[in-house]
Structure 1
Amino acid sequence: MSNGTATFWVTIAAICAASGALHGILFYDGPSPIGIIYGTCIGVLVIAYERGVFLAGYSRRLRRLPSLAYLAAAEISMVVVILVAMALTGVVFWAFGTVHKTLLEAVTPKLHTTLFAVAASALIVTGLRVRDLIGSETFTNLILGRYHRPVSEERIFLFLDLVGSTAYAERHGDLAAQELLKAVFAAIAQPVRRYRGQIDDYVGDQVIVSWPIARGLDEARCVACVFAIRRSLAADRDQWIARFGLLPELRAALHGGSVVTAEVGVDRHKIAYFGDVMNATARLESLCRETGRPVLISDAVLARLPALPAGIDAEPLGSHRLRGRSETMVVHALAETAARETAGGRATAEAGLRRPVPGGTARPAMLGAKPAA
């Protein structure tokens, strides 16, 4: 449930409506339609400000202040936004004749109502920031207690690793490398949300994304997500080069299977995954270096996909013995197809994106692939 979805804003409106009803219960004879609408309007406007729907530039400037100054300015700004939202809502009610007050009375909030609005907004904003910190799906699972007891489930995992981050840190320093990682992680987030993935963890310069097996396989979301991320980075090539002097490159590995999912931790809780699938996906990502291919997928996932997204081909690389594992894994390289040779039916792509494997052909059952001649 990302900030831009209708579901997010419907949920926020429902929570704000509930706070309006609670205000009526606490301070009046009970909830009223006007109080509920009043609470909804004020709450949605306040959250829209907090989420950067308006005055986003102002919020970014506040974040550049020293910590204590930022906290003070942020709190004062939030109170001002609440007062303005209350005044605007009062004007609307007065204009439609919904309340029997003068205009001055309609725009002047009562002290207890202001304090309640500030407290309710603070609780909602805090909840949203915790949700942002640990991820929306993880936050929901923790609230519902879904993984209080370990659960065995099937998931698809995507390991993304930023190429050359260590060398970049050596040349430009750790602070500059952190800025690069922050920008790359931000660019990854939107495609992951779009394809309904879940960012589970950041480990150094690596991002771990996962899907429940059915969701990841449906419409080949797990594969589409990888190439949406790559296209997103490439589309902003000039900005990346101007800011960091390079276009970020990512190695990606897709694998899946049965894992045990559990809530762990005492002082700090998180959802963790246990099982061989996690180690195998990490080893598969390392295989990208050895094969020179930026995107690898295990046969365990590829064989279960109904079709690959249009314009994506899979080339078999055969069985590989991954480091630290006794069993071999059948591996395929994924790449976007720029052109296709007619002679021999071998798929080719633009230079640097994909190199054909001798004797290898894309699976004819996949969307966008043709049978080998």
Structure 2
Amino acid sequence: MSNGTATFWIIIAAVSASFGALHGFLFADGPNLAGILYGTCIGLLTIAYQRGVFLAGYSERLRRLPTPAYVVAAEISLVVLIVAGMALTGLLLWTLGIVEKPLTDAVTPKLSTIPFALVMSAVIVSVLRVRDLIGGETFLNLILGRYHRPVREDRVFLFLDLAGSTAYADRHGDLAAQELLKAVFSAIAEPVRRYRGQVDDYVGDQVIISWPLARGIAEARCVACVFAIRRALDGDRAWWLARFGLVPELRAALHGGSVVTAEVGVDRHKIAYFGDVMNATARLEGLCRETRKAVLISEAVLARLSRLPDGIEAEPLGAYHLRGRRETMAVHALADRRRPRRVGASVEVEAGRQVAGRGYAALRG
């Protein structure tokens, strides 16, 4: 569930409306239409602000402040937003004739309502923050207790690894490398949401993404997701070169099958996957280096796809013995024939790196 889905905003609206009804129970004669609409509008406005739908630049500048200053500024901003939202909502309801009171009363917030709105907004934001930290599906599964007992299920896994991240850290330092990883992980998020995958874990410079098998192979979503990510990175080539002196190259491996899924942990819970599929996918991603192919897919997944996305072609590479496995795995390389082929750093990219690298070094002083 992402910021852009209708489901997300419907849920936020419903929760906000329920808080509006709760306010009526606590501070009035009971819930009424005006209170519910006030709650809905204030909740939607607050979450839209928190999620960067508007005033995103302002929010980003606030985050750069020292923590004490940020906390104060963020709270003041939220109060101003809530007051403005109440006034606008009151104006709307007065215009529509839903509230029968003078205009000045309709647009003037009650002092008792502001603390309630702040608390309720904090509750929603906190829940969303936890959801964002562990992933939407993982959060829902933990709430529902779906994996309290281990279950066996079929899933497709995509392992993505940032090529050259260690060398970049050696040249520019760990902090700069972390900024690069943060930017790459951010760029990955939208295509993963679009193709209904879920990010299960970040391990160093590697991202683990998965789908329930039926969802991942339907319309070849797992494959389409890989190349949507690669196209997204290529589409912002100028920005990457200017900011980091390189265009990120990802190695990708797709494999799937039966795994055991379970909720693990005591103080910190997470949903983990166990089985040979996980080990095999990791080994398959490592095979990208040996074969000098950017995207590899196992025969087990490729055979289940009714067709590949337009422009994507599969090249059989034969059977490989992967470390830690007795059986061989039939492997195919995937390539987008509409995308210029690049293995490592091409002359064009390397030249861009040198130019952008000089500019980046000048910026660093």
TM-score (norm 2): 0.92
Greater shift after overlay, 160-169 or 328-337? 328-337
What does the per-residue CA deviation read over 1:209-264, in whole Å, with 9 as the maximum and x for residues that have no partner?
00000000000000000000011101111110011000100000000001111111
Deviates more, 1:32-41 or 1:279-288: 32-41
Secondary structure of 1:111's counterpart equals coil
The secondary structure found in structure 2 opposite 1:160 is: strand
Q: What residue identity is the alignment partner of 1:156?
A: V
Classify the secondary structure of the residue corresponding to 2:112. helix
Which structure has more relative contact order (CA 8 Å, sep 6+)? It is 2
Aligned-partner residue type, residue 188 of structure 2? I
From 343, 349, 352, give the equivalent of 2:342: 352
The answer on 1:174 being equivalent to 2:174 is yes
The answer on whether the counterparts of 1:38 and 1:89 sit within 8 Å (CA) in structure 2 is yes
- Give the equivalent residue in structure 2 for 1:145: 145
Asked if the contact 1:336/1:353 (under 8 Å) is kept, the reply is no
Q: CA deviation at 1:45?
A: 0.8
Say whether 1:281 aligns with 2:252: no
Distance 1:110 1:334 in 2: 61
Q: Distance in 1 between matches of 2:100 and 2:340?
A: 70
- Residue 74 of structure 2 is matched in structure 1 by 74
Structure 2: any 5+ residue segments left out of the alignment? 345-365
TM-score (norm 1): 0.90
Q: Could you tell me how far 1:106 is from its partner in structure 2?
A: 1.4
What is the match of residue 370 of structure 1? Answer: none
For 1:85 and 1:294, locate their aligned partners in 2 and report how far apart those are by CA, in whole Å: 49
Equivalent in the alignment of 2:135: 135
Inter-CA distance 302–98: structure 2 relative to 1 (3 Å threshold): same
Residue equivalent to 2:355? none
Q: Which amino acid aligns with 1:303?
A: A
Q: Secondary structure at the match of 1:21?
A: helix
String of CA shifts for 1:11-39, please: whole Å, max 9, x gaps.
Answer: 11111111111111222232211211111
Query: Partner residue of 2:218?
Result: 218
The answer as to whether partners of 2:156 and 2:216 remain within 8 angstroms in 1 is yes
Q: 2:292–2:343: 8 Å Cα contact kept in structure 1? A: no
Report percent identity of matched pairs. 74
More helix per residue: 2
Structure 1 residues 248-267: aligned runs within 5 Å? 248-267=248-267
Task: Report the CA distance between 1:159 and its aligned residue.
Answer: 0.2
Q: Paired residue for 1:359?
A: none
Structure 1 residues 116 and 350: alpha-carbon distance in aligned structure 2, compared to 1, 3 A threshold = closer
Q: 1:86 to 1:351 in 2, by over 3 A?
A: closer
The answer for the alignment partner of 2:297 in structure 1 is 297
Please state if 1:29 is matched with 2:29.
yes
Residues in 1 aligned to 2:142 and 2:115: alpha-carbon distance in whole angstroms? 30
Alignment of 1:42-191 (within 5 A): 42-191=42-191
Counterpart amino acid of residue 281 in structure 1: T
Which residue matches 1:369? none
Alignment deviations for residues 254-275 of structure 1 (CA, whole Å, 9 cap, x no partner): 0000111111111111111111
Equivalent residues, number: 344
Contact 2:150–2:262 (CA<8 Å) still a contact in 1?
yes
Distance apart, 1:350 and its partner CA? 4.8
Give the letter for the 1:352 counterpart: R
Instruction: Determine whether 1:245 maps to 2:214.
Output: no
In structure 2, what is the Cα distance between the partners aligned to 1:182 and 1:67? 20
Q: Secondary structure at the match of 1:319?
A: strand
Corresponding letter in the other structure for 2:50 = E
Answer yes or no: is the 8 Å Cα contact 1:313–1:337 preserved in 2: yes
CA deviation map 1:277-297 (0-9, x unaligned): 111100000000000000000
Q: Which amino acid aligns with 2:336?
A: E
Which residue in 1 is equivalent to 2:14?
14
Q: Distance in 1 between matches of 2:275 and 2:236?
A: 37
Distance 1:148 1:66 in 2: 40
C-alpha RMSD of the superposition: 1.3
For each residue in 1:171-211, what CA deviation from the matched residue of structure 2 results, as whole angstroms up to 9, or x when unmatched? 00001000000000000110000000000000000000000
Q: Equivalent residue of 2:202, what SS? A: strand
State the 1:116 CA deviation: 1.2
Distance 1:93 1:21 in 2: 16
How far does residue 75 in structure 1 lie from its aligned partner after superposition? Answer: 1.6
Does the 8 A contact of 1:195 with 1:221 survive in 2?
yes
C-alpha distance in structure 2 between counterparts of 1:111 and 1:333, whole Å: 64
